[in-house]
């Protein structure tokens, strides 16, 4: 069963009856994310890259104009990818296709929905378009994934209609440390809410919901489930099979790999090895075999520049 | 539960609920190796991406073991991508024939993404030819549909022109996701197949 926590009354408005069939329901949107579990979503910029990702076993591809590493290098404004490239990719792979839009840019999102992408990432990797608001994601039939650094951000994005959550990490750096940090913070906060829920201290749950600026219902549901009420992936800085396996052992439902595959010199082997490591993260022997498929000298260089993409977007 | 990729935990919990509703004992477990395949008394191939599951099943060489057990009468349920993995053929609606790995256990040809992309995903009331299945709310996510089926395959549900659930002996395939519905009757039926007490609708 899919948790429907946080669904506003207006969500019924965005679900469309089509004969006996109803599209755009919360179950269908959140359910889509459930099908990605134990999988790897890979950033791609071309049809060729999308096909390499599909052959390697990616559960979905995320289309960008530039990989996060290149966005860091080139600077300037980063926007959603060319619709023609997205359409070409939609026509050439059988797995789901996602694309990023700018934070708060409802119209880039509308355009992506028209194109027919399967999920939209309202992403801090692109230059934010609204300094005060995120997109009201309940208005869309297409599900959204959103980034978070902690429980408050995750539940606020779910309140706005996100059907899936990922950690922000620090994209394009090749450094997994920030993603680890964000998952650890999230886990610790969820454990806290779980403890409070089990102790029956409703007033403390209410205080927490005020502190996190989210509806009480979502805090209560997090406590009841002992996890986020939607699927939660790791993202931001994952570059090797061992990185991916580490994120899975920390309790993530799957991983996004951004620059890690196609900024490496061995993208095919790298993509395949990360897929294997995610599925068999509980078996170090298999992860070691996966790690042997790649060569550290071919890993992305990584960067230590000071741009903090994770701080983008309004903090409410 | 084939535990390579997909909504494995949702199936675990649906099976757990089905067991307790039937008052049966049982231990839902993950299948990721040949030893796991040999141990189980029923199998569920979950929803997810069929290409991914097919590719991953070669890592530990579990494909021959799966084929052997399923053809030997192992009660098996495949939902959505799981039904695709069990099928004989699975061309994509847009891309057409691909070289993806399928088990060929169910004598059906399945069209992948038959209803369209995610924005076309939907919920619908179905009449499912299983005990208690008169009104079943099906959750269809980028769902496939059965295009053609062999003589030994029985239709269990259809939506308009499309066949969306089938049974062949002890194998059940659904285009929708019973693990995401409130009703656990499909899981209960699998348990009854495994414990030798199936009653037909």
Given its phi and psi angles, is residue B70 left (phi above 0), alpha (psi -120 to 50 degrees) or beta? alpha
User: Which one of A31, A116, A279 has the shortest CB-CB distance to B180?
Assistant: A31
Cα separation, A38 vs B8, whole angstroms: 9
User: Which one of B49, B59, B124 has the shortest CB-CB distance to A95?
Assistant: B49
| pLDDT score, position B1 | 86
| pLDDT score, position A66 | 93
Beta carbons of A279 and B5 less than 8 Å apart = yes
From chain A, the residues in CB contact with B159 under 8 A are 20-21
Beta carbons of B112 and A94 less than 8 Å apart = yes
| pLDDT score, position B38 | 95
Whose tokens are 């940090």? That residue is A181
Cα A264 from chain centroid (whole Å): 21
Q: CA dist B152 to A45, B25, B149, B161, B196, Å?
A: 46, 31, 8, 20, 20
Beta carbons of B121 and A280 less than 8 Å apart = no
ipTM comes to 0.94
Its pTM surpasses 0.90: yes
Domain ranges of chain B: 8-194
For residues A315 and B79, the model is more confident at B79
From chain B, the residues in CB contact with A118 under 8 A are 117-119, 142
Instruction: Write the CATH number of the domain with boundaries B8-194.
Output: 3.40.50.880
The count of other CB atoms within 10 Å of the CB of residue B23 is 6
What does the block give as tokens for A103? 């934070």
Region B48-73 average pLDDT: 94
From chain B, the residues in CB contact with A39 under 8 A are 5-6, 48-49, 52
Residue range A43-102, pLDDT digits in tens? 999 999 999 999 999 999 999 999 999 998 888 999 999 999 999 999 999 999 999 999
User: Which one of A1, A20, A37 has the shortest CB-CB distance to B8?
Assistant: A37
| pLDDT score, position B97 | 85
Which residues, in sequence order, are bridge partners of residue B45? B78
User: Which one of A20, A35, A94 has the shortest CB-CB distance to B48?
Assistant: A35
Task: Give the residue numbers of A annotated as catalytic, written as ranges.
Answer: 100
The chain B residue lying nearest A276, using CA atoms, is B56
| pLDDT score, position B198 | 55
Residue range B144-201, pLDDT digits in tens? 999 999 999 999 999 999 999 999 999 999 999 999 999 999 999 999 999 876 555 4
From first to last of the 316 residues of chain A, give the pLDDT tens digit.
888 998 887 665 567 776 778 999 999 999 999 999 999 999 999 999 999 999 999 999 999 999 999 998 888 999 999 999 999 999 999 999 999 999 999 999 999 999 999 999 999 999 999 999 999 999 999 999 999 999 999 999 999 999 999 999 999 999 999 999 999 999 999 999 999 999 999 999 999 999 999 999 999 999 999 999 999 999 999 999 999 999 999 999 999 998 999 999 999 999 999 999 999 999 999 999 999 999 998 888 777 777 888 888 887 7
Whether A298 and A239 have beta carbons less than 8 Å apart is answered as no
Q: Which domains does chain A have, with CATH numbers?
A: 29-178+231-294 (3.20.20.70)
CA distance, residue B75 to nearest chain A CA (Å): 23
Please give the radius of gyration of chain A, using alpha carbons only, rounded to the nearest integer.
19
Lowest mean pLDDT among A47-61, A294-308, B87-101, B111-125: A294-308
Q: What percent of chain B has pLDDT over 90?
A: 90
CA distance, residue A92 to nearest chain B CA (Å): 6
Cα separation, A244 vs A176, whole angstroms: 9
Whether A265 and A200 have beta carbons less than 8 Å apart is answered as no
The chain A residue lying nearest B80, using CA atoms, is A35
């Amino acid at each position: 069963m899919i948790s429907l926590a946080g669904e506003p009354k207006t969500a019924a408005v965005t679900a469309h009856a089509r004969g006996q069939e109803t599209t755009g329901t919360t179950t269908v949107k959140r359910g889509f994310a459930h099908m990605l579990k134990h999988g790897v979503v890979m950033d791609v910029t071309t049809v060729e890259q999308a096909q390499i990702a599909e052959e390697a076993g990616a559960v979905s591809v995320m289309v960008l104009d530039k990989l996060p590493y290149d966005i860091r290098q080139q600077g300037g404004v980063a926007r959603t990818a060319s619709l023609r490239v997205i359409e070409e990719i939609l026509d050439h792979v059988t797995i789901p296709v996602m694309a990023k839009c700018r934070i708060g840019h409802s119209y880039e999102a509308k355009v992506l929905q028209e194109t027919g992408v399967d999920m939209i990432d309202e992403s801090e990797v692109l230059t934010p378009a609204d300094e005060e608001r995120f997109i009201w994601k309940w208005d869309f039939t297409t599900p959204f994934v959103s980034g978070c650094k902690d429980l408050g951000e995750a539940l606020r994005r779910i309140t706005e209609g996100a059907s899936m959550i990922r950690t922000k990490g620090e994209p394009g750096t090749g450094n997994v440390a920030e993603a680890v940090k964000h998952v650890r913070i999230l886990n610790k906060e969820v454990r806290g809410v779980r403890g409070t829920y089990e102790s029956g201290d409703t007033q403390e749950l209410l205080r927490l919901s005020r502190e996190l600026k989210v509806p009480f219902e979502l805090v209560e549901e997090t406590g009841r489930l002992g996890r986020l009420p939607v699927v939660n992936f790791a993202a931001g800085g994952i570059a090797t099979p061992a990185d991916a396996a580490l994120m899975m052992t920390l309790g993530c439902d799957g991983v996004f790999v951004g620059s890690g595959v196609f900024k490496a010199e061995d993208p095919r082997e790298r993509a395949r090895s990360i897929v294997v490591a995610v599925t068999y993260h509980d078996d170090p022997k298999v992860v070691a075999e996966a790690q042997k498929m790649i060569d550290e000298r071919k890993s992305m260089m990584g960067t230590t520049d000071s741009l903090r993409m994770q701080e983008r977007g309004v903090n409410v | 539960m084939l535990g390579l990729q997909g909504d494995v935990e949702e199936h675990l919990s649906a099976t757990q609920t089905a067991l307790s509703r039937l008052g049966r004992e049982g231990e839902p477990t993950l299948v990721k190796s040949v030893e796991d395949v040999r141990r189980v008394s029923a199998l569920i191939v979950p929803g997810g991406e069929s290409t991914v599951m097919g590719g991953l099943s070669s890592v530990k060489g579990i494909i021959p073991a799966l084929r052997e057990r399923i053809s030997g009468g192992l009660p098996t349920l495949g939902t959505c991508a799981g039904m695709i993995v069990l099928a004989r053929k699975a061309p994509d609606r847009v891309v057409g024939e691909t070289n993806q790995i399928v088990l060929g256990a169910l004598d059906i040809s399945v069209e992948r993404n038959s209803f369209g992309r995610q924005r076309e995903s939907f919920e619908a009331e179905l009449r499912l030819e299983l005990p208690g299945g008169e009104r079943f709310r099906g959750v269809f996510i980028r769902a496939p549909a059965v295009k053609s089926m062999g003589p030994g395959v029985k239709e269990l549900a259809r939506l308009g022109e499309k066949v969306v659930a089938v049974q062949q002996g002890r194998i059940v395939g659904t285009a929708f996701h019973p693990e995401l519905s409130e009703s656990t009757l499909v899981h209960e039926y699998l348990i009854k197949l495994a414990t030798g007490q199936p009653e037909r609708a």
